[in-house]
Amino acid sequence: MEDGNTTVETPQPDEPGAEQPSLIETLTAERDKLTAEKAGLEDLMLRRQAEMDNFRRRVEREKAETREFASMDAVQALLPVLDDFERALKAAPGGHEEGRVAEYIKGMELIYRRVMESLTKLGLEPIQAEGAMFDPNLHNAIQKEERSDVDDQTVLAEYQRGYHFKNRLLRPAMVKVAVKS
């Protein structure tokens, strides 16, 4: 001791009397460290498994949607055929007195019904237009007519039928709409 200051010397690890962690303490610390690391890795693994499960579910849902709407283009391509059948049926000669005309009309109606049934099974649904209130989400107004005998914005005539395909709008109906005079 010099100058009234007290100096305390700490023993070095190699010196006798130095405090060294015991082997048990060292192993316990190492075990705790490894246990914490293991818990972290298990947590990471569980998170990755959950992410993978979510990914699989999303892919399956997207596949189902793709399958569900894969036929949409085919159905849309057939709509002009349905339109032509409807026009042909409307343009057919009025009287059914001749057997040939009646058979023609009957054949056209049969073909139309079969095509329509097949498309309905695939998910096609016609939009009800005539007599309904005009809805710009479902109808395309191509003509307006001033009328006082019906409610404003009532669909008076349907020029081309609109369709939903599996609850999605495939094509709006082309209609004539009443407006108040």
pLDDT score for 112 = 87
Mean pLDDT of 99-121: 82
pLDDT band at 97 (very low <50, low <70, confident <90, very high): low
Residue 2 has pLDDT above 70, yes or no: no
**What mean pLDDT is reported for the chain?**
84
Q: Is the pLDDT of residue 38 over 90?
A: yes
Across 120-129, b (16+ Cβ under 10 Å) vs e yields eeebbeebeb
CB distance 144 to 177 below 8 Å: yes
Say if CB 131 and CB 158 are below 8 A apart. Answer: no
Write out 61-120 in H/E/C secondary structure. Answer: HHHHHHHHHHCHHHHHHHHHHHHHHHHHHHHCCCCCCCHHHHHHHHHHHHHHHHHHHHHH
Q: Which two tokens stand for residue 169?
A: 């709008």
- d(CA 82, CA 67) in angstroms, rounded, equals 24
Task: Indicate the pLDDT class of residue 169, thresholds 50, 70 and 90.
Answer: very high
Terminal Cα-to-Cα distance of the chain (whole angstroms): 116
Beta pairing partners, 31: none
More confident residue, 100 or 166: 166
CA distances from 91 to 85, 95, 108, 122 (A): 10, 12, 12, 28
Q: Is the pLDDT of residue 7 over 70?
A: no
Task: Assign 90 a pLDDT band (cuts: 50, 70, 90).
Answer: confident
The answer, yes or no, to whether residue 13 has pLDDT greater than 60, is: no
